[in-house]
Amino acid sequence: MNDEDRLARMEARIAELEDRLAIYQLFATYGPGVDSLSGDAVRDLWAEDGTYETEHHVFRGADEVSAIVRDPMHLRYIERGCAHVMSMPRILLDGDTASATGYSRVYVHREGEWVVDRASANRWELARIDGAWKVTRRVNKLLKGTPEARAVMGQDL
Amino acid sequence: MNDEDRLARMEARIAELEDRLAIYQLFATYGPGVDSLSGDAVRDLWAEDGTYETEHHVFRGADEVSAIVRDPMHLRYIERGCAHVMSMPRILLDGDTASATGYSRVYVHREGEWVVDRASANRWELARIDGAWKVTRRVNKLLKGTPEARAVMGQDL
Amino acid sequence: MNDEDRLARMEARIAELEDRLAIYQLFATYGPGVDSLSGDAVRDLWAEDGTYETEHHVFRGADEVSAIVRDPMHLRYIERGCAHVMSMPRILLDGDTASATGYSRVYVHREGEWVVDRASANRWELARIDGAWKVTRRVNKLLKGTPEARAVMGQDL
């Protein structure tokens, strides 16, 4: 390997590491965003036309997704005290797109304890847009024993 | 430092970062593996002769470990809806072997909430085998106030 | 870009990645430290004059912080069986200082299950001291629906 090839190989490896850490950071931003009612921070995570699909609703576009922070159900969580916690995701990188699989849990305060009101399987599709990783699709299925939720967890294995 | 030394030093630092992220990815794969009943994905995480030691049983070898996904207790979890979530581990690298310490929790669905049916101390031993990190030993102790579980959490500090 | 600039740029990128992983490792060390009663390991995470601020108390200095492992409330957790689990943090690096935002949860064993006795918003301030990242300040607010806790989650967004 000549020097140019060697340097280019190193730069590619560094870039992949940076991509993985940027995607971790995206996941670590979602919870603080929704739990502090920071709609702008949530909007900034999604691609302009990205979606968020739950069992009951499909949020279409970054504006609709970010409006979750004003949703009555979300505001009831906020009033009681809540934590939207993401697990460390499994990431598959493919150039300028990626997918990530992981768990989300919503802890809600009740009588001095916190109960898990939602525990879900999540698969995220991501794309590098203008140099930043953005969510193009998030699929969220409650872990209630359905084959649909199991399929989400197993899709990329 | 001459150029060769400088490049070699950078490559070693990149390789260490890659090792750490590969081990994170291994931890982020375990839960989706067992919760989607993907025995093959679980088997692939373990070394051929790796073990998984709980308080009541020692699973010996990747085949036995991967058979957990067909275990009656596991299938009851699956039927109700469950999430096997690993915390971000503390990792000690030592060339081609490593150890990692962290928490595991099994959330199980019950009447619209998820209860933590197991919370455990875990210490994992890992080895690089044919270029991929594999589990050679996992020790899991329920966090019920025993000195054994505390010893697992403190072993590598 | 000449070769020297190119190499220096790569080294800076590697150093940033190392910083992020070192901070992850710090977070992954805190729980094992307190849950194994390893006061020395906890002390080592804090700057000599670093603080830990909860709603009811400010611990001042690494010695006071590490003494948490001998606190009666902590020892009651330990006796029952507990897990202090940190979420993957959102990290903002700024040279030799950094801040990190994330969730902490204390799971405590009760009648064969683990309940979440504390779920908190955390913002950590960190500094590189003698080459190692140390906590200079940790602010912890229970997520009980207060604007103070929401402010902690949103401060760095």
Element (H, E) at B124: strand B113-129
Residues 6+ apart with CB under 8 A from B76: none
Look at the block and give the residue holding tokens 């989706």. B32
Cα B109 from Cα C108, distance rounded (Å):
18
**Which parts of chain A sit beneath pLDDT 70?**
1
How many Cα atoms sit within 13 Å of B128 on the Cβ side?
A: 13
Query: CA-CA distances (angstroms) from residue B17 to A26, B58, B115, C19, C28?
Result: 19, 32, 35, 11, 16
Residue in the block written with tokens 């872990």: A143
Pull the structure tokens for residue B98.
């490593």
Task: Determine the average pLDDT of the residues in B122-135.
Answer: 98
Q: What is the pLDDT of residue C2?
A: 81
Cα–Cα dist C83/C50, whole Å: 23
Tokens representing C14 are 């590697």
pLDDT digits (tens, 9 = 90+) for B80-113: 999 999 999 999 999 999 999 999 999 999 999 9
Q: Are A40 and C154 in contact (CB under 8 A)?
A: no
The minimum CA-CA distance between A146 and chain C, rounded to whole Å, is 23
DSSP letter (8 states) at residue C64: H
pLDDT on residue C3: 87
CA atoms within 13 A on the CB side of B82: 24
C41–B157: do the CB atoms touch at under 8 Å? yes
- A154 and B37 within 8 Å at the Cβ level: the answer is yes
CA dist C46 and C61 (Å) reads 8
Give yes or no for a contact between B123 and B147, defined as CB atoms under 8 angstroms apart. no
Residue with tokens 């080459």: C131
Q: Are A36 and C151 an interchain contact pair (Cβ–Cβ within 8 Å)?
A: yes
Return the number of other C-beta atoms located less than 10 Å from residue B109's C-beta: 21
For the segment B36-90, what is each residue's pLDDT rounded down to a tens digit?
Answer: 999 999 999 999 999 999 999 999 999 999 999 999 999 999 999 999 999 999 9
Comparing CB atoms, the residue among A88, A142, A150 nearest residue B36 is A150
CB contact under 8 A, B103 and C85: yes
Backbone dihedral angles phi then psi of residue A25, each to the nearest 5 degrees: -60, -40
Q: Using alpha carbons only, what angle is made at residue C108 by residues C107 and C109, rounded to the nearest 5 degrees?
A: 125
**Closest CA relative to residue B105, chosen from B80, B82, B130, B127:** B82
How far, in Å, CA of B106 to CA of B92, rounded? 25
- The answer to whether A143 contacts B35, with C-beta atoms less than 8 Å apart, is yes
Q: Report how far residue C102's alpha carbon sits from residue C90's, in angstroms, rounded to the nearest whole number.
A: 6
Count the alpha carbons within 13 Å of C116 in the hemisphere toward its beta carbon.
Answer: 29
User: By the CB < 8 Å criterion, does A17 face chain B?
Assistant: yes
Against chain B, the chains showing at least 3 CB pairs within 8 Å are A, C
| Cα→Cα distances B74→A46, B62, B71, B120, Å | 36, 17, 5, 16
Q: How far apart are CA A13 and CA A7, in angstroms?
A: 10
Interface confidence, given as ipTM, is 0.97
The pair of structure tokens assigned to C108 is 């405590």
- CA–CA dist B124, B103 (Å, integer): 11
Average pLDDT rounded to a whole number, residues B133-151 = 98
Tens digit of each residue's pLDDT, chain C (157 residues): 688 999 999 999 999 999 999 999 999 999 999 999 999 999 999 999 999 999 999 999 999 999 999 999 999 999 999 999 999 999 999 999 999 999 999 999 999 999 999 999 999 999 999 999 999 999 999 999 999 999 999 999 9
- Chain A positions touching B80 (Cβ under 8 A) are 144-145
Q: The whole model's pTM is what?
A: 0.98
List chains adjacent to chain A, taking adjacency as at least 3 C-beta pairs closer than 8 Å: B, C
Q: How confident is the model at residue B131 (pLDDT cuts 50, 70, 90)?
A: very high
Amino acid identity, residue B143?
A: L
DSSP characters over B43-96: HTTEEEEEEEE-SS-EEEHHHHHHGGGG-HHHHHHHHH-EEEEEPPPEEEEETT
**What is residue C109's predicted lDDT score, i.e. its pLDDT?**
98
**Nearest alpha carbon to residue C85 among C77, C94, C97, C95:** C77
**Measured between beta carbons, which residues in chain C are less than 8 angstroms from residue A36?**
150-151, 153-154, 157
Structure token pair of residue C48: 């000599």
**Residues forming a β-bridge with C97:** C94, C127
Residue of A nearest to C14 (CA): A14
CA gap A98, A93 in Å, rounded: 4
